Amino acid sequence: MSTALITGGCGFIGSEIAKALARRGWAVVTLDVAGPTRFDPDTTPETIRHVQGDVRDAALIDGLVSRADLVFHMAAVVGVDEYIQRTLEVLDVNLGGTRNVLGACQRHGKPVVLASTSEVYGLSGALLREEAHKVYGSLTNVRWAYALSKATGEEYAQAMTGLGLRFVTVRYFNVYGPTMDAPGRGRVIAKFLGCLQNGEPLPLVDGGEAIRAFCYVDDAIEATVRLGLGLLIDGGFANGPVNIGCDEPVTMRDLALRMIRLSGQDVGVREVAGTDFFGPGFEEIPVRVPDVSRMRDVTGFEAGIRLDDGLRRTMAHWGLLNEPKTAIPSDIVPAVKIQVRPDDALRDRLTTILWSGRLSNDGPTVRQLEAEAREFLGASEVLATASGTTALELALLAAVTLTGAAVLPAYTFQATVNAVVRRGLEPVFCDIDPATFTLDPVALARILAERKDIRVVVPVTVFGVAPDLAAIRTLCDASHAVLILDNAHGVGSEVNGLRLPPEPLVQTFSLHATKIVPAGEGGLIATNDAGIAAEIRRLRCHGVAANPLESSTGTNAKMAEMAAALALHSLRELPAQLQRRRAYAQRLRAALALYPQTFTPQHLPPGIHTNFQDFGVLCQSRTGGITGIIAAFRTQGVEARRYFWPPLHHLPAWRGKFELPVTDAVAGALVCLPLHGRMDEATLRRVEAAIRAVGKSAAN
């Protein structure tokens, strides 16, 4: 029987590792200065043996390590309270103890799992890859004692690889569970439990806006044990760090409100300064979220216990769960989720911009974005703008020389008609195709036959699906109308293998925060007409000409450098995101296909390779209508959101002037279901399960 030594084996994580290994048939020796209070004497296997001792006892450590096959070094003094109030002990245990364990493992040739922490990332925020740079605050502040002691332990391990040490470092991100800390003591969840136990408001340190990602103990233990067992063979990950966590970020305020709801108590929250709560020396880290891709890649495991589920288990253990059985999950899967995953390159670029003093006015980052967008789209000219709306306004100003009317769908966002009206054109709303939800060429042909003042046609890409541009272009040519595509939803979509379909004279893209390539606010204009591009370039900078005496009116539509940096980062991530979104959509469409009487997803015509910017579905219910469908999804913990509602022809300026039966039917029955740029398996299964539940109930 193989034997594992676990230092700190009676602690929160160490005790759970011991139980997990015993279940796998291992003999386990736990070393701890404390007694085995986390082990039930009636159920603890005989294969677990406890030794009371201190990791600072080098002789004791050497003897225990020599008799083990695998070592888990979990012993440490942890917690914000501890490293502020017991700084010397933190340093002694975390430095001296770690050196003893690593030295013994090196001498006896024993592989070791070295426990580290997300604290080693210091002031760095999300999204934290293992190789991310570490930046710490002032070393006169004891707040960094714990982080530096753990980082130094990692350096000890790295230095000993040249002497033959085989190790893996596990950096834990906010592991929690029923036996973590007694209510009121230790870490944030336990402190909140203490307040709930006493019926007191939950304290929000410095406003509760700090963001963390919590990992339930069962998931953390499974990943840790897999890494340990992998060290015994050639796992391909030895001698480096692996983040252990769950990619489900939450603010401390949201965490508090979730726990209050689950408790059924109306205790509320209170705001408190961090230095008052923890004492002098406290320094908050605004964001700390792990990149867990390495954990997933090397272990084949991904944390699957969502925060609400883990909180329920933890609170139930302490008798603090009082949630109605029919309660709606508090962690609703949103229809739209902004997922910008920062890295060192983005942070460095933003820092460079700030130091450069060049924040706008056609700066180098804007030019780099335009160059990479030209290559990605296959366009000869791409210009960045302050928003998708200003992009469309500039396109209309540059390409439409006469006054008159513009044809556009009413099934679009208000920005489309705003741009038309600002250009001085009369909006004429056209009906849409019932399957693709895009401008209907047949309806367009009727309008063009009736009206001779149509100067421009502005079809809209919907959820990533382009309209029938070939048919629309033929009609525009016959009527001498300009074709401009509002392609706000279309970055990354393809029409017959092209990301920039050739039919429109100009097309515009949105880089809004909710779009697939977010810049916060921003837009792109793409055209193969150099003259149009030159005119747009002049108009977006107040209409100033090369010769100032030839300037005319224009607007300020320049993109800022900071927005361009975010857009550039997002654009570079887009190919991988497109692959994921299409895989997710395939799964969700398969789930919808089981209930054809209830759900009709957007039709994807031949030649269309959509980016799935959004996931639109027509819904039918025998009772409750679309509001009932939305409520049913919410009961399942999934947001179903109406989109382009109400359609524009119902707004006061145009109410009663247009008959658009297909638009009304689609707008009255369509919702968008969650489809994000990155969805874990648990979230996908939740959406699939919601589709099945709603599909069954709506058909009855």
Instruction: Summarize pLDDT for 58-87 with one digit per residue, the tens.
Output: 999 999 999 999 999 999 887 655 666 678
The SS3 call for residue 641 is: strand
- For the chain, what is the mean pLDDT? 92
Residue 468 has pLDDT above 80, yes or no: yes
- Cα gap 138→104, rounded to integer Å: 33
Residue-wise pLDDT tens digits, 602-644: 999 999 999 999 999 999 987 678 999 999 999 999 999 999 9
Range in 101-105, 496-500, 680-684 the model is least confident about: 680-684
Residue-wise pLDDT tens digits, 419-452: 999 999 999 999 999 999 999 999 999 999 999 9
Instruction: Please compute the mean of the pLDDT values over residues 324-334 and round it to a whole number.
Output: 71
Q: What pLDDT score was predicted for residue 81?
A: 58
Residue 464 has pLDDT above 60, yes or no: yes
More confident residue, 93 or 81: 93
Say if pTM beats, i.e. exceeds, 0.85: no
Q: What pLDDT score was predicted for residue 79?
A: 63
Token pair, residue 393, equals 């306004």
Q: What pLDDT score was predicted for residue 585?
A: 97
Q: What pLDDT score was predicted for residue 235?
A: 66
Neighbours of 507 (CB within 10 A): 28
Token pair, residue 322, equals 């009082």
Q: What pLDDT score was predicted for residue 326?
A: 56
Residue 142 has pLDDT above 80, yes or no: no
Residue 536 has pLDDT above 70, yes or no: yes
- Cα gap 25→399, rounded to integer Å: 74
Closest by CA to 5, choosing from 59, 61, 87, 68, is 68
- Cα gap 98→184, rounded to integer Å: 29
The share of the chain scoring above pLDDT 70, in percent, equals 97
- Please state, in angstroms and as integers, the Cα–Cα distance from residue 193 to each residue in 67, 268, 313, 386, 525, following that order: 40, 13, 12, 46, 53
The SS3 call for residue 46 is: coil
Q: What pLDDT score was predicted for residue 123?
A: 82
Residue-wise pLDDT tens digits, 115-128: 999 989 888 766 78
- Contact of 58 with 100, CB cutoff 8 Å: yes
Closest by CA to 483, choosing from 532, 539, 412, is 532
Q: Show the domains of the chain with their CATH numbers.
A: 3-317 (3.40.50.720), 344-570 (3.40.640.10), 573-699 (3.90.1150.10)
- Which contiguous run of DSSP H or E holds residue 427? strand 426-430
